[in-house]
């Protein structure tokens, strides 16, 4: 068994430096009790995603679905990770070897801005997380443990001899296996999504009622979301629980942020996305209340009068206004994610092919399954990891990610400056086979110690095998793309490297093969990832009763409201939350002659009139 390195698993839900990061309850996994509400009269989403799909698919703590049958290694193909080559009993290459050889850190120019990376991670934290089991006393340890004592959930990553960065073994615990309603593991093994798969702002508002209540003012009853004032500025609320996956430092303004998703403190730039949508909720609420007062009295209220209304409205009015504002804020988030951001990931033609463009009204389809697909979460949508740079600037000074994992301090101290800086960075934010050392050599090093750091690219490959994701070849077949029967088909850059790593071209992991594909026109990813991502987003659109372009009542928006939502861009929110005077026209791309800096005054806030009108005329409030 040898002198394996002693280490901890990465995961946020696992033990972070002695601070237990909480966990997603390992309770009922099979079919939870179904929705008992009448969806034909349900105007607001359920926090946990129930009452949307007829079988409650898409709600929290449910198994993932698959676009391709799993490829597990045991004879029946039920449970054991994919570990062998198709050419007999030879092991697949170590994920760490693949990372070393295929994903070296080389800095290249890009057209994308770092906002594209950051928004992508934020979206992923709305739609999915596959929990990893924890042991009775925190993390499950796999390295340096004898085979006899090792948990059966262990699947540590062997480190190749030539690796000068890591030794022997990298911690890895298999994702939790889904159970049926009797508590027995399901076969073939299926992994879990602990979140609502819908793009429903669960990262902003929580995916369980307790989190939503913790986030709202007035002990969970208020119209607004709570904030903490730091040096006169509004920030996310302080998560005082001991379970926060976060490191509190000695800085006087250091605290752990609370938001809808538990990963909010994972790195500081991520925190800025949470705060942006969190504050926009409150901004929308104040504008709508102002509109209501104007409609009722004919006079524009002072800010004090708006605050007074917010504080003194009857509880039922507060509840309705909170839900109305959340519904609008969610629609704006969906609009930015699907209509603005997604085209830069998958390109225009995939947007059209999968009917993802937002120019037309759409219709909810109860036969579409809105669950996340395993190949999407375990591989394709991790494309964003190649866009991560080593640093981000604060007032032009680089801050290194490797020093700030789980340390939200700069999010709190310099939110506005991070937003501004994120829009200017573009080096390294490029879809290619190069990964920043911040994540391949130093992931979580700052709080776990250099020896126990992780390599995110290795984790991605190992996670794909853990989840039984079939090889890249089979995904190309699934989407009618040309067969890659030869290493040369992978081009001059990847082909020779892959040939050295893999015994057979049919062994190439989806993640490795997908990263090697050239980007589609106008998009970031190659054809295989573009298909998987487009397929998934189409399911999240047509399978979501509340998708904002659907017309059906009482969930849908009327024409005037839809037009107002479509007028709000990422620019509006970034200008607002970063307190910026100007911004590039297209926030997904870096500044250039074709993408000039323009005044923020060009980007208007939501026109609240059509919403105020409906709230009053439909009698939602008196």
For position 384 contacting ligand HEM by CB under 6 A, the verdict is: yes
The least CB distance from residue 259 to ligand HEM, in Å, is 16
Kindly tell me which residue out of 124, 390, 447, 561 binds ligand HEM, with binding defined by CB under 6 A: 124
- Residue in 169, 223, 373, 456 binding ligand HEM, rule: CB under 6 A: 456
Interface with ligand HEM includes 154 (CB under 6 A)?
no
Residue identified by tokens 């009917």 is 355
Q: Which does 113 bind (CB under 5 to 8 A by kind): Ca ion, ligand HEM, none?
A: none
Among residues 10, 200, 517, 539, which is the contact residue for Ca ion, using CB under 5 A? 200
Residue closer to Ca ion by CB (options 202, 362) is 202
The interface partner of residue 337, options being ligand HEM, Ca ion, none and the CB cut-off 5 to 8 Å by kind, is: none
Q: 146 in helix, strand or coil?
A: coil
Shortest Å distance, C-beta 377 to ligand HEM: 5
Q: Establish if 334 lies at the interface with ligand HEM (CB under 6 A).
A: no
Q: Is 388 in the site for ligand HEM (CB under 6 A)?
A: yes
Among candidate residues 220, 157, 170, the one with its CA nearest the CA of residue 5:
170
Burial of 483-510, coded b for 16+ CB within 10 Å and e otherwise, reads ebeebebbeeebbebbeebbbebbbbbb
- Rounded CA-CA distance 503/236 in Å is 50
Distance CA 17, CA 555 (A): 44
Length of the chain, in residues:
622
Distances from the Cα of 247 to the Cαs of 141, 390, 533, 566, 588, in angstroms? Answer: 21, 20, 33, 39, 31
Closer to ligand HEM by Cβ: residue 290 or 428: 428
Backbone phi, then psi, for 363, in 5-degree steps? Answer: -130, 135
Residue 420: name its binding partner from Ca ion, ligand HEM, none (Cβ under 5 to 8 Å by kind). Answer: none
Q: What distance in Å separates the CA atoms of residue 288 and residue 273, rounded to the nearest whole number?
A: 23
Residue nearer to ligand HEM on the CB measure, 225 or 519: 519
Find the binder of ligand HEM among 70, 120, 468, 523 (CB under 6 A).
120
Nearest Cα neighbor of 285 from 319, 336, 251 is: 319
Q: Which of residues 121 and 196 has its CB atom nearest to Ca ion in the complex?
A: 196
By a kind-dependent CB cut-off of 5 to 8 A, residue 176 interacts, out of Ca ion, ligand HEM, none, with none
CB-CB contact of 297 with 620 (8 Å): no
Q: Shortest Cβ distance from residue 529 to ligand HEM (Å)?
A: 11
Closest CB 272 distance from ligand HEM, rounded Å = 12
Between 288 and 459, CB nearer to ligand HEM = 459
Would you give the DSSP letter of residue 186? P
Binding mask 6-35 for ligand HEM (x = CB under 6 A): ----xx------------------------
Closest to 198 in 3D by CA, of 338, 12, 66, 320:
338
For tokens 């050239």, the residue is 518
Q: How far is 553 from 173, CA to CA, in rounded Å? A: 45
Chain contacts with ligand HEM (rule: CB under 6 A):
10-11, 117, 120-121, 124, 128-130, 266-267, 377, 381-382, 384-385, 387-388, 401, 439, 456, 459, 463
């Amino acid at each position: 068994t040898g002198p394996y390195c002693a280490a901890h698993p990465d995961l946020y839900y696992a033990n972070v430096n002695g601070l237990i990061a909480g966990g997603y309850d390992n309770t009922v996994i099979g079919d939870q009790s179904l929705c008992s509400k009448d969806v034909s009269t349900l105007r607001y989403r359920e926090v946990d995603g129930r009452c949307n799909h007829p079988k409650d698919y898409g709600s929290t703590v449910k198994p993932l679905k698959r676009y391709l049958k799993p490829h597990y290694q045991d004879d029946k193909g039920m449970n054991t990770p994919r570990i062998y080559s198709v050419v007999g009993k030879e092991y697949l290459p170590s994920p760490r070897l693949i990372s070393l050889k295929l994903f070296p850190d080389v800095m290249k120019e890009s057209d994308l801005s770092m906002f594209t990376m950051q928004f992508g991670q934020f979206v992923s934290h709305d739609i999915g997380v596959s929990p990893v089991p924890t042991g009775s006393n925190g993390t499950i340890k796999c390295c340096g443990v004898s085979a006899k004592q090792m948990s059966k959930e262990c699947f540590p990553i062997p480190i190749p001899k030539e690796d000068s960065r890591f030794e022997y073994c990298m911690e890895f615990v298999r994702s939790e296996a889904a159970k049926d309603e009797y508590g027995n593991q399901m076969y073939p093994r299926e992994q879990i999504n602990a979140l609502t798969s819908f793009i429903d702002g669960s990262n902003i508002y929580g995916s369980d009622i307790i989190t939503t209540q913790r986030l709202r003012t007035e002990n969970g009853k208020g119209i607004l979301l709570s904030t903490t004032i730091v040096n006169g500025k509004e920030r996310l609320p302080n998560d005082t629980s001991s379970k926060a996956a976060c490191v509190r430092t000695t800085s006087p303004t250091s605290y752990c942020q609370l938001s809808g998703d538990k990963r909010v403190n994972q790195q500081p730039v991520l925190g800025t996305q949470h705060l942006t949508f969190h504050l926009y909720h409150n901004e929308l609420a104040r504008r709508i209340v102002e509109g209501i007062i104007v409609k009722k009295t004919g006079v524009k209220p002072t800010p004090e009068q708006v605050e007074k209304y917010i504080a003194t409205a009857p509880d039922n009015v507060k509840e309705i206004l909170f839900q109305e504002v959340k519904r609008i804020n969610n629609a704006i988030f969906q609009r930015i994610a699907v209509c603005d951001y997604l085209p830069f990931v998958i390109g225009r033609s995939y947007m059209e092919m999968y009917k993802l463009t937002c120019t037309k009204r759409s219709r909810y389809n109860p036969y579409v399954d809105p669950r996340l697909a395993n190949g999407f979460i375990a591989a394709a949508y991790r494309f964003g990891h190649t866009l991560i740079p080593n640093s981000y600037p604060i007032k032009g000074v680089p801050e290194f990610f490797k020093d700030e994992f789980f340390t939200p301090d700069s999010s709190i101290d310099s939110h506005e400056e991070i937003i501004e800086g994120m829009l200017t960075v573009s080096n390294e934010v490029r879809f290619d086979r190069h990964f920043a050392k911040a994540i391949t050599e130093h992931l979580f090093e700052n709080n776990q110690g250099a020896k126990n750091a992780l390599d995110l690219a290795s984790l991605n490959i190992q996670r794909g095998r853990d989840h039984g994701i079939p090889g890249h070849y089979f995904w190309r077949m699934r989407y009618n793309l040309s067969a890659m029967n030869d290493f040369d088909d992978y081009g001059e850059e990847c082909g020779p490297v892959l040939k050295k790593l893999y015994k057979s071209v049919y062994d190439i992991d989806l993640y490795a093969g997908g990263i090697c594909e050239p980007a589609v026109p106008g998009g970031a990813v190659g054809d295989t990832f573009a298909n998987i991502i487009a397929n998934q987003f189409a399911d999240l659109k047509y399978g979501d009763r509340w998708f904002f372009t659907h017309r059906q009542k009482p969930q849908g928006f009327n024409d005037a409201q839809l037009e107002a939502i479509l007028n709000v861009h990422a620019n509006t929110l970034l200008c607002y939350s970063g307190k910026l005077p100007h911004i590039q026209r297209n926030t997904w791309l870096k500044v250039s002659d074709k993408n000039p800096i323009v005044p923020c005054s060009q980007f208007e806030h939501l026109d609240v009139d059509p919403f105020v009108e409906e709230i009053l005329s439909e009698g939602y409030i008196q």
